Structure 1
Amino acid sequence: MKKTLFLSPPSFDGFDGGAGSRYQAKREITSFWYPTWLAQPAALVPGSKLIDAPPHNQTVEDILKIARDYELVIIHTSTPSLANDVKCAEMLKAQQPDIQIGFIGAHVAVLPEQTLLASPSIDFVCRHEFDYTCKELAEGKAWDQIKGLSYRDRQGNLHHTEDRELIHDWDAMPSVLPVYARDLDITKYFIGYLLHPYVSFYTGRGCPAKCTFCLWPQTIGGHQYRTKSPEVVGRELEEAKAIFGDRVREYMFDDDTFTIDRHRAIEISKHMKRLKLTWSCNARATLDYDTLKQLRDNGLRLLLVGFESGNQEVLNGIKKGIRLEAAREFMKNCQKLGITVHGTFIIGLPLETRETIEETIRFACEISPHTIQVSIAAPYPGTELYEQAKANGWFSDQALIASSGIQTSTLQYPDLSSAEIEDAVERMYRQFYFRPQAILPIVREMLTDRQMLVRRLREGGEFFSYLKERRTRATHTTPTSLKAGQGVGV
């Protein structure tokens, strides 16, 4: 085995892009997801090491010092952070010319050749579902015999091997939780709506939904939900409880749509109840009352739900597959059962107008989830939304994130500018949270939990700083611009 380092490199201050986040940017409050995309191949490679630099405040100098002991470095990158990550690769190569460096992630899966051309320091990129590709690289297998690999030979010529098939035997995939325990500090990972410390991981990959904006199913995971059996998930959670004990307050199943197979979700929830573990998961706003009740009775605390818009035509246009009335009924059931809901919304989707933005704000206030996240529509390469934007000339001159790391709008429409889309984010946050119906539950939460009191006060300060930064942000953006037909800009 080659000595292998899996790396999420240092990036913008507070940038959450090297992990599983769908919108790679600096968040409204300190937020870091676990680097599951790196941890999974790391679990397949004995003796490897995983570094997640941003939440651990590790610098490039720290990484260079550690990397001296390794032969192979596999870096997770994203569209907004690519230029930054290329610089890190170049510094690693300058220090150790013989080290092999490759990139993984949705961006390079879609644009392998453009990524390789970005810098001679990048020796290879792993396309699509890359876990076993990484394993074979670490084993020293000849590169031309490794499926799903694009690479540069010694003469500088580029080669692309045949695509690798999707992984179907997920029960054979090792757990990432021991990798977390070995290489990560779980106290460094914060998500505003999850209890702290929390642990997030996948029990499968792929999503049958066809949302035009969603990154992972269209670039890596595909639309077939391939999963571990409830029995294997139960054993992994037994191991997690033995490893972490009572330190973890909540487990988050980060599968794109964990509840799409309701029977399986219920069977897994029974293991959570048996182990007396609090948990949360992603869900669509289509679950019926009886399923919600069974999940709640088995330890479910919170659901992360993508509502996206309060306008049905916008939802239809992005192939969301939900009706507003069904979402309203879903929220009533959750509130009746005492299930906390964190709702996510997107401003600037196709067909968006000033009027539909106001509909979304009113809808969010009407259904009133406990907390919300408001993102800007991001047309990542490889998604249907990106192709629509290119075909219709919707790209603005802005990048996906500003120089500070906060998300900006790279889309504009004939009757809706990028500036109006960005302004609507702050307006929605203010109109949603500055209501008694939103403030009082948060205050009650703070009064019953001292840790939550301290945390919410910190997050409140961060949130207002974020709004101020969004209002006064610099006009220049990062080099990674996504103008029509541009793909990569480094």
Structure 2
Amino acid sequence: MKTLFLSPPSFDGFDGGAGARYQAKREIRSFWYPTWLAQPAALVPNSKLMDCPPHDIDVKACLAEAKNYDHVIIHTSTPSLKNDSKVAEAIKSQRPGTTIGFVGAHAAVLPTETLKASQAIDWVGRKEFDFTCKEVAEGRPLSEVNGLSFWKEGKIVHNPERELIPDMDALPWVTDVYKRDLQIEKYSIGYLKDPYLSLYTGRGCPAQCTFCLWPQTIGGHKYRVRSPENVAAEMAHAKKLFPQVEEFFFDDDTFTANLPRAREIAQKLKTLGMTWSCNSRANVNYETIKLMKDCGLRLFLVGYESGNQQILDRIKKGINIEEAKKFTKACKELGVIIHGTFILGLPVETKETIEETIRYAMDLDVFSIQVSLAAPYPGTELYEMARQNGWFAKKDKTDIIHDDGIQQSTLAYPGLSKDEIFESVEKFYRRYYLRPKPILRIIKTMLEDKNVCVRRLREGYEFFTTMAQRRTDLAASKAASAA
């Protein structure tokens, strides 16, 4: 069947393709590549990938394109399911014969609930859905496709599970799909050079973090990887396809989980003369950091999460605070930039632990940070902990964004309300960035490059606009609670 892989229109600035922790509207307009859809699109000949949010494609334009396809596969998520269902219904109404499938972590964990969200949804793909999509697009009867749930005569049928892909080199490269269907200049992340390009060199993560979405729902806890030769070959190909790219990012949950392989890939990238960055845990040794830096590494994206060791242990982070400090010091000595991420509202947060985390972040003093709210997605251990302990602040446990697309606090603890957790995000940002060192770092980058200066000014405007919107959301939440 002629197939469209679709990230539907959503909230302005909504990053449905976010590959790490949550889907939401960010503090500054930022978009990750829709790699999870690009991968099956690469398996289906004559398909098309349409990523609406970053390309500013509205519902009308989306529907005009969708009517040309027999089969539409939509990547959905917990916060976007209602919106995505409405888009599916509109597609179905204009062309009733269209087959519509939903994929993504929410569909993988809650296939029955996803199918029941709308009669327009014909099937959902569970777990790793690349070859599930391929087989459905080929016209194989739904009853014969493993890893698929579907409607049959008014009843929901769950086919046997599909085995996780053992040989990741069997998957085609996504870069050709990017070239064919995406405008890469539409994708930007504040801490990466612009334009950037991201992809996966492997799936799954051996870490057991209770909050992390993808390993617990789709990828698994075994790090299944592409060979260094395969990765290097695609990167060489990507350099030819996208000569304008300033930085390549490896979006594996933990690229450094297999250090010998990471070192081998780094050495192969050195011959390509590439600038690249990756996700990393805060436990890489000095020698490996130095080697990777010498081979073109510019930045680590590191999840520090909390400054309280008990919280880190409770979420099974597997990192000691002193170990993280040692890693951070090594990166600074070697000139590797760090973008650190922190999460507020993890079990069992208090006002004191929030203060501890803010002071910890200021002590680390990495180049830039992102502060998120704990997102208890269905299928994660964090979700089950919250359900069993009564930490959910709302009856609807999947209500994790405000009406404007901004992430909201869904958990509350004794002595700490959801509004207090939500409010602490802005406090965290202000106390971190309104210090001489961060301000001087930002000014320095602006003075060094005119384009960066323009970009930082835009991002600054977006950031403070979002903070103002957050205050409006907070006031509305407090008013609702008082009522």
> 1:418 matched to which residue of 2?
418
Q: Secondary structure at the residue paired with 1:15?
A: coil
| 1:235 pairs with 2:233 | yes
How far did 1:446 drift?
A: 0.9
What amino acid is the match of 2:193? L
Q: Secondary structure at the residue paired with 1:101?
A: strand
Q: Secondary structure at the residue paired with 2:343?
A: strand
| 1:257 pairs with 2:237 | no
> 1:288 matched to which residue of 2?
285
Query: Any residues of structure 2 matched to 1:28-427 within 5 Å, and which?
Result: 28-153=27-152, 155-245=153-243, 247-397=244-394, 399-427=399-427
Structure 1 vs Structure 2 CA RMSD: 1.0
CA distance in 2, matches of 1:34, 1:126: 20
CA contact (8 A) 1:6 1:75 kept: yes
Q: Secondary structure at the residue paired with 1:304?
A: strand
Give the number of aligned pairs: 474
Unpaired runs of at least 5, structure 2: 478-483
What amino acid is the match of 1:165? E
CA distance in 1, matches of 2:187, 2:20: 13
What amino acid is the match of 2:408? T
Gap change, CA 1:19 and 1:359, over 3 Å in 2: closer
Q: Structure 2 length normalisation: TM-score?
A: 0.97
CA contact (8 A) 1:213 1:377 kept: yes
- 1:14-49, Cα deviation, whole Å (9 max, x unpaired): 101234242111000010000000000001111100
CA distance in 2, matches of 1:41, 1:412: 39
How far did 1:273 drift?
A: 1.2
- 1:377-409, Cα deviation, whole Å (9 max, x unpaired): 010000000000000010012721101111110
% same residue: 61
CA contact (8 A) 1:36 1:176 kept: yes
How far did 1:327 drift?
A: 0.6
How far did 1:142 drift?
A: 1.1
How far did 1:450 drift?
A: 1.1
CA distance in 1, matches of 2:458, 2:476: 29
Structure 1 stretches of 4+ moved >3 Å: 474-477
What amino acid is the match of 1:427? K
> 1:487 matched to which residue of 2?
none
Q: Secondary structure at the residue paired with 2:6?
A: strand
CA contact (8 A) 1:403 1:476 kept: no
Q: Secondary structure at the residue paired with 1:346?
A: strand
CA distance in 1, matches of 2:181, 2:48: 7
Q: Structure 1 length normalisation: TM-score?
A: 0.96
How far did 1:270 drift?
A: 1.5
- 1:282-319, Cα deviation, whole Å (9 max, x unpaired): 00000010000000000000000000000000000000
What amino acid is the match of 1:136? E
CA contact (8 A) 2:281 2:303 kept: yes
What amino acid is the match of 1:430? R
CA contact (8 A) 2:207 2:221 kept: yes
CA distance in 1, matches of 2:29, 2:54: 9
Q: Structure 1 stretch 91-100 or stretch 390-399: which is displaced more?
A: 390-399
How far did 1:476 drift?
A: 6.5
- 1:445-484, Cα deviation, whole Å (9 max, x unpaired): 111111111000110111111111111127679xxxxxxx
| 1:436 pairs with 2:431 | no
What amino acid is the match of 1:408? Q
> 2:462 matched to which residue of 1?
462
CA contact (8 A) 1:19 1:36 kept: no
What amino acid is the match of 2:96? P
Q: Secondary structure at the residue paired with 2:146?
A: coil
CA contact (8 A) 1:126 1:148 kept: yes
CA contact (8 A) 1:19 1:37 kept: no
> 2:481 matched to which residue of 1?
none
What amino acid is the match of 1:31? S
